[in-house]
A and B are shown apart, each in its own frame.
Chain A
Amino acid sequence: MGHKTFARGIHPSYYKELTAAKRVEGSTLPKTVTIPLQQHAGAPCEPLVKKGDLVQEGQKIGDVKAFVSAPVHASISGKVKDVELAQHPNGTRVLSVVIEGDGAVKDWEAGSSRPDLGSLTPEAIREAIREAGIVGMGGAGFPTSVKLAPPKGKTIDAVILNGCECEPYLTADHRIMAEDPEKVVWGLKALMRASGARMGFVGIEENKPEAIRAIKEKLDNSTDIQIIVLEAKYPQGAEKMLIHAALGRKVPPGKLPLDVGVLVNNVGTAAAVYEALVYKKPLIDRIVTISGNGVKEPRNLKVRVGTSFEEVLGQCGGISGEGEIEVLNGGPMMGIAQSTLNVPVVKGTSGITVISSGSFKSKPYDPCIKCARCVEACPMALMPYKLGDYGRAHRLPEFKDWQGVSCIECGCCSYVCPAKRPLLQWIRIGKLKVRQEAVKAAAK
Chain B
Amino acid sequence: MDKTLEKTEIKTAPEGGEGAAGAERLIVSSSPHFLDAESIPKIMHTVVMALVPAMAASVYFFGWRALLLILVCVGACMLTEWAFQKYRKKPIKVYDGSAIITGILLALTLPPGFPIFGAILGSVFAIGIGKQLFGGIGFNIFNPALLGRAFLMATYPVLMTTWLEPRTVAKAVDAVSAATPLAMMKFEAKFAPLADLFFGNVSGSLGETSVVAILIGGLYLRYKGYINWKLPLGYLGSMAAFSAIFWFVNPAKYPSPAFHIFAGGAMLGAWFMVTDMVTSPTTALGQWIFAIVGGIIAVIIRLFGGLPEGVMYSILFMNAFVPLINKHTRPRVFGGSLKAQG
Contacts and interface: CB of A to CB of B under 8 A. Distances in A.
Interface of A: 10, 12, 87, 90-92, 151, 153-155, 168, 240, 244, 250-253, 255, 259-261, 310, 313-314, 318-319, 322-328, 332-342, 353, 355, 357, 359-360, 362, 366-373, 375-376, 379-383, 385, 402-403, 406, 409, 411, 414-420, 422, 424-425, 428-429, 432
Contacts of A255: 335, 340
23 contacts: A12-B34, A87-B16, A250-B335, A255-B335, A314-B21, A318-B22, A319-B25, A324-B12, A325-B25, A326-B33, A332-B31, A332-B33, A337-B27, A339-B28, A342-B20, A360-B35, A367-B135, A369-B137, A370-B278, A381-B336, A383-B326, A416-B38, A422-B8
Contacts of B228: 372
A340 B20 contact: yes
Contacts of A313: 21
A119 B5 CA distance: 51
Contacts of A422: 8, 30
Give chain B's interface secondary structure class: loop
Given A240-B334, A252-B338, A422-B8, A337 B137 contact: no
A259 B137 contact: no
A252 B335 contact: yes
A240 B18 CA distance: 41
A185 to B, nearest CB: 28
A325 B277 contact: no
B331 to A, nearest CB: 4
Given A335-B33, A360-B29, A369-B137, A259 B332 contact: no
B224 interface: no
Contact of B137 (A322, A342, A367): A367
Contacts of A314: 21
A286 to B, nearest CB: 21
A94 to B, nearest CB: 13
Given A255-B340, A362-B29, 19 more contacts: A250-B335, A252-B337, A261-B341, A319-B21, A322-B25, A325-B22, A325-B25, A325-B26, A332-B31, A335-B33, A338-B28, A340-B20, A362-B10, A366-B93, A381-B336, A382-B333, A403-B333, A424-B30, A428-B5
A379 B78 CA distance: 38
B34 to A, nearest CB: 5
B333 A380 contact: yes
B188 interface: no
B208 to A, nearest CB: 26
Contacts of B287: 372
Interface string B37-55: 0111011000000000000
A80 B17 CA distance: 23
Contacts of A357: 27
Given A339-B16, A362-B10, A380-B334, A153 B342 contact: yes
B27 A324 contact: yes
Contact of B341 (A260, A327, A432): A260
B40 A385 contact: no
A334 B34 CA distance: 10
Nearest to A375: B282
A360 B21 contact: no
